[in-house]
Amino acid sequence: MKSKISKTAVLLAFSLFFSFFISGAEIVKAPAEEIGYSQYSQYEEITAFLSRVSHLSEKVKVQIIGRTKDTEAYASRDLYLCIITEEGADSPLKLNRKKPTFLLVASQHGREQSAKEATLLFIRDLATGKLESLMKRINFLIIPQANPYGNFFDQRRNEQDLDLNRDHVKLEAPEVEAIHHVFRAWMPEVTMDVHEKGDDFYRVSIGCVSNANIHQSLQEFSRSKILTEVWKKLEKKRITHQEYLITQHMGIDSSAGVRYPEEYLKGREEMKRYSTTDLNDGRNSLGIYETLSFIQEGASRHDLKTLRKRTNYQYDGIRYFAESVAAHGEEIISLVNGLRKKLLAEAKVFSEDDLVHLRMEYARDEKEPELTIQKFEPIDASIEGVLKVDKKAGDIITRDDMATYRYPSEQEVVKEVVTNWFPNVEPTLSVPRPLGYIIPAKYHDIVETLFGHDIKVEMFTKDIHLEIESYQTKGIVPAIYDYLPPQKIEVEKKKLQTIIKRGDFYVSCAQWGAKLIPCLLEPQSQYGFIRYWKFKLVPEAGDIFAFYRFVGKKALPLIPYKNWQR
């Protein structure tokens, strides 16, 4: 009898433990779940939620990576990084680099709330073991709320009235600088930036990198492996999907961050393209380090009524994406790390053939002159359902003959043929990458911004006579809007013998930002510091541009500048 009781007790205890373990996902609910998706999750609820999941699992570590700016309307808030690994790593040095590391960022745009809600669900399922198979094969770095201020006021911009996803070059926002510090500290092989768009037919859209400086093999791998597999899984679940498309007016740069007035856009034709080439965007700004970098956009009406549905679409996209990354872990590590090592090796030696692309344009594809897509079109009537079989006029229709209409009842799904279709990107201006750039000491604001990118800067310890390459401005037409490069800038490259002063700065290209540095510092760059009025870099005709190029072999008297740990 005693033996039977003991066995029964053991079995009961095991049963209760197993029941608790497998139901963890139900016991721990994400903030929006707990209230039936009747409100958007805010900073306080997210803080409590992360406290719970990090307490629940030793595999979850939460770190504070920055803080928003204080305002009268909304006090400053911490920015969180959630580290979820099988080993419970809490620093880059403890990371298992035999697995790919995946950085997931949500809610840079505060009004795009489902990005955050889906990411919190994903954190919960990783923490409670529901997605344990993924955690065994991937290291996860997750920033679930990149814009607390925007979330609170349900608006796109942050407390500085900045569009965070147009700030990845000048890094004025602490939120964006925090993202870059996390990326550079951990150097993940894969990143995804999660957003929302309008109420589009395609419920989940994912875009890969577009900038021509990022190795073409990354785009090919993104489409042929990752996206192909995600599409198949979304198709099985009947979730409409497509590679992310942008509609913009012809002749403007809609991704630069400019607030164009309506009269400036009036009368311009529209075009469609894949996502931007700009480096001020979260995807390309991390992809430029030879990263498999993506953006996910979920279709949205931006209302609470649809929050549960659109959160679920986003979750499925994130999960299926992670599953594909897990399935190709070894390939991803080999591809990304191989390209990064090659980049560093090439940047150490000057070559006229080692080009960095400063300007590029969207181009048509003769093999694909048009694009046919599906879209919503408003109608006066209300669609109640769709016939499962063809019926003739006058035939009786029963409820069994009807299938549920999966889209908004007041919108019809129609086909659109896009003739202004520009799927390709072609470089229009390229220059050889120098060994490094010389920045006069007075441009301390530029140096501080480079530090925001975790780019290493050195300082001259004494005056030195040096041969450098300089740019003389032959013609200049300044931009009419901040965030745009000069409308016209003609320069002539000249070799000069000059004195570089003690205290001037040197930025070597032989570092992780080997492709980014020229894009930031060259005067003709479409993506550089010159396009931001705050830096006052636009020269007058006849002037020598502020920064010099160094391509020689002479040893330079340098020490690291401000290389203390952040």
Residue 407's pLDDT band, with cuts at 50, 70 and 90, is: confident
- Dihedrals φ, ψ of 156, to 5°? -65, -45
Minimal CA–CA distance to 283: which of 399, 383, 164? Answer: 164
| The pLDDT value given to residue 474 | 97
Helix H or strand E segment including 529: none
- Dihedrals φ, ψ of 298, to 5°? -100, 140
| The pLDDT value given to residue 408 | 76
Q: Is 70 exceeded by the pLDDT of residue 395? A: no
| The pLDDT value given to residue 20 | 42
Q: Is 70 exceeded by the pLDDT of residue 388? A: no
Minimal CA–CA distance to 143: which of 98, 185, 202, 172? Answer: 185
- Contact (Cβ atoms closer than 8 angstroms) between residue 397 and residue 314: no
| The pLDDT value given to residue 265 | 92
Residue 350's pLDDT band, with cuts at 50, 70 and 90, is: very high
Q: What is the pLDDT of residues 188-230, one digit of tens each?
A: 999 999 999 999 999 999 999 999 999 999 999 999 999 999 9
Helix H or strand E segment including 78: strand 78-84
Q: Percentage helix, strand, coil, to 5, in the chain?
A: 35, 25, 40
- Dihedrals φ, ψ of 565, to 5°? -65, 135
Domain ranges for the chain: 22-240+275-347, 371-418, 434-560
- Give the count of alpha carbons within 13 A of 483, CB side only: 21
**Helix (H/G/I), strand (E/B), else coil: 344:** helix
Residue 398's pLDDT band, with cuts at 50, 70 and 90, is: low
CA distance 57 to 405: 42
Residue 109 is given by DSSP the state S
Q: What is the pLDDT of residues 520-550, one digit of tens each?
A: 999 999 999 999 999 999 999 999 999 999 9
Minimal CA–CA distance to 516: which of 276, 356, 385, 282? Answer: 356
Q: Is 70 exceeded by the pLDDT of residue 386? A: no
Q: Is the dihedral of CA 84, 110, 32, 233 positive or negative?
A: negative
Q: What is the arithmetic mean of pLDDT over 61-81?
A: 98
Q: What is the arithmetic mean of pLDDT over 360-374?
A: 96
Residue 409's pLDDT band, with cuts at 50, 70 and 90, is: confident
| The pLDDT value given to residue 25 | 40
Side chain identity, residue 173: A
CB atoms within 10 A of CB 459: 18
Residue 11's pLDDT band, with cuts at 50, 70 and 90, is: very low
Q: What is the arithmetic mean of pLDDT over 445-459?
A: 97
| The pLDDT value given to residue 17 | 43
| The pLDDT value given to residue 404 | 75
Strands 436-439 and 505-508: antiparallel
Task: Write the Ramachandran bin of 356: left for phi over 0, alpha for psi from -120 to 50, otherwise beta.
Answer: beta
Q: Please report the DSSP string for 205-260 in residue order.
A: EEEE---TTS-HHHHHHIIIIIIHHHHHHHHHTT--EEE-EEEEETTS-TTS----
For the 22-240+275-347 domain, the top CATH level (class) is alpha beta
Q: Is 60 exceeded by the pLDDT of residue 1? A: no
Percent of the chain with pLDDT over 70: 92
CA distance 157 to 166: 10
Residue 5's pLDDT band, with cuts at 50, 70 and 90, is: very low
Q: Please report the DSSP string for 441-490 in residue order.
A: TT-HHHHHHHHHTT---EEESS-EEEEEEEEEEEEEE--SSTTS--SEEE
| The pLDDT value given to residue 384 | 67
Q: Is 80 exceeded by the pLDDT of residue 3? A: no
Residue 186's pLDDT band, with cuts at 50, 70 and 90, is: very high
Residue 538 is given by DSSP the state P
Which position has the token pair 């299926």? 320
Helix H or strand E segment including 47: helix 43-56
Minimal CA–CA distance to 204: which of 176, 241, 175, 177? Answer: 241
| The pLDDT value given to residue 4 | 43
Q: What is the pLDDT of residues 328-346, one digit of tens each?
A: 999 999 999 999 999 999 9
Q: Please report the DSSP string for 264-295 in residue order.
A: HHTTPPEEEEES---TTSHHHHHHTTT-EEEE
CA distance 53 to 130: 13
- Return mean pLDDT, the chain: 93
Residue 24's pLDDT band, with cuts at 50, 70 and 90, is: very low
Instruction: Give the residue, 408 or 242, on which the prediction is more confident.
Output: 242
Q: What is the arithmetic mean of pLDDT over 242-247?
A: 96
Minimal CA–CA distance to 306: which of 297, 298, 318? Answer: 298
Strands 270-274 and 421-422: parallel
CB atoms within 10 A of CB 558: 16
Helix H or strand E segment including 152: helix 148-153
Q: What is the pLDDT of residues 259-282, one digit of tens each?
A: 999 999 999 999 999 989 999 999
- Contact (Cβ atoms closer than 8 angstroms) between residue 127 and residue 59: yes
Q: What is the arithmetic mean of pLDDT over 229-238?
A: 97
- Contact (Cβ atoms closer than 8 angstroms) between residue 67 and residue 78: yes
Q: What is the pLDDT of residues 279-315, one digit of tens each?
A: 999 999 999 999 999 999 999 999 999 999 999 999 9
